[in-house]
Amino acid sequence: MAEGDSLPNVEIELPDESKAKLPDYSGQPLVVYFYPKDDTSGCTREAKEFSAALGDFADAGAKVLGISKDSPAKHRKFAEKHDISVDLATDADGAVTEAFGVWVEKNMYGRKYMGIERSTFLFDAGGKLVRVWHKVRVPGHVEAVLEAVKDLG
C-alpha cells in the first residue's frame, strides 16, 4: 500500500471472535499497526505503549487497531496478561497482511522465512492512507504516530 490508497475492504476477526471489515472503521482517523507475534518482547512493548497512549489517540479522534496472525484466544490471553487495552485483530487467512504488503520474507540467523514486517499505517477519516511506517523500531514509535494523528487536525 502507498500513501493515497484507500482502506482495503478486508475482513478481520476480533478477540470476541466477531468479524469486521476495515472500512467499518472509517469516519475517524485509524491507526493500523501490524506486529509479528503476541507475547514476544518487542510486540508486547509496542502493544503496551499503544495502550498507554490510547486516551491521547482518542482525544485526537483516532482509533488504534493492532493486527497479527495470532488467534482471537491468544489475543485475549495476551491482552489479559499484559493489561493491553488497544483493540487486537486476527488475520487468520493472511488476506489483510497481503493487502497491506506486510507479509514478507525475513531472515534471522541465516534462516529465511515468511512473517509480518512490523509496520504502521495511518488513514484519515475518509479512509485514505496518509502515512506509512515500515520496519518499525518500537522506541519512540507510538509518539511519532500520535504526532502524525494530531497533524491531521
Q: SS3 breakdown of the chain: % helix, strand, coil, rounded to 5?
A: 35, 30, 40
Look up residue 65 and give its three cell numbers: 487497531
Instruction: Confirm if 68 and 90 have CB atoms less than 8 A apart.
Output: yes
139, burial (CB in 10 Å: exposed 0-12, middle 13-18, buried 19+): exposed
| Residue 20 known to be catalytic | no
DSSP 93: T
The span from the CA of 69 to the CA of 34, in Å, is 9
β partners of residue 118 = none
Q: Which of 32, 43, 53, 86 is catalytic?
A: 43
The span from the CA of 87 to the CA of 65, in Å, is 5
Q: How far apart are the first and last CA of the chain?
A: 23
Enumerate the active-site residues.
43
